[in-house]
Amino acid sequence: MLTRDFLQQADCKTAFGAIEETLLLTPEQRAASLASTLAQRPDSGPVWVFGYGSLMWNPIFEAEEVLPATLQGWHRAFCLRLTAGRGTQHRPGRMLALKAGGQTRGLAFRLPQAQLEDELALLWKREMVTGCYLPTWCELTLDGGQRITALVFVMDAQHPLFEEDTCHQVVTPLIASASGPLGSNAQYLFALDRELKNHGMHDDAIGELASSVRQWLQQHAPLAG
C-alpha cells in the first residue's frame, strides 16, 4: 500500500514504474498547479478534499474531520489509462476518475489549516504526477444537509491518457490483467468496492464491475497440476 513516507521520498520518474517523459509534470509544474488552484479558492474557510477512490481508505494526508458527502454532477468511471503504479505501458490497466453526469458518494476530509500547504503538496505529488486530473472546487452535500466547498480531482478529458470507452466488456480484462509496483489493478477495484460497502454507499456500476473482474479471473485462473 502507498505510504506517506514512500510518497515523500518518491522520485516520480521511477517510483511508480516507467512513465512516458512527456507526460510527467516537473516539481515546478506541480507547485504551479497547486498555487493556481489555491488562488481560485472560493473562500477563506476550511479546505476540504473529496475522496472517491483510494483516498477513502488510504488518504495519507492529515485530516481533522472526515464526513460522508455527496457530489452532484459527476460519477465514477475507470476512464484513465493506467501505465504505471498498478499497470505498465506494455499491459495497461484502468484507473478511477470522475466523468461528468450523475452523482458520487464519498468522504469529505477537512485539512488542518496549519499544515495546509504541506498536506496539499503531498496530495499533488500523489494525484498530479501526469496532470491527468483537473483540481476543481465543487460543492458537496454532507449527510446532515450542510453544504461545503471541497477540492475534487476530476478527469481531464483532453489528457492523452483519457479513455472514453468504459463499458465492462472493454474494462474488465484490462483491470483483471494489469499490475505494477503498487500492486494489481484488480486489488484496487476490490478495495474500492469493499470500502463503499463498509460505508453503506451504493455504486451499482462499481459493484457490477468488481463482479465482472472476479468472474474473469476465475475463468482465466491457471489450471492446477
Round to whole Å and give the CA distance between 135 and 151. 6
Assign 180 to helix, strand or coil: strand
CA distance 85 to 182: 5
- Name the packing angle between helices 116-127 and 27-39 (round to 10°): 120
Helix runs in the chain, H state only: 4-9, 27-39, 116-127, 168-177, 185-198, 204-219
Active-site residue (options: 20, 28, 62, 127):
127
In which residue are the cell numbers 466488456 written? 169
User: In 3D, which of 53, 56, 76, 54 has the Cα closest to residue 66?
Assistant: 56
- Nearest-CA neighbor of 160 among 91, 69, 99, 79? 79
CA-to-CA dists, residue 83 to 17, 120, 162, angstroms: 8, 24, 12
CA 36 to CA 135: how far, in whole Å?
A: 10
**127 an active-site residue?**
yes
> Which amino acids are annotated catalytic?
127
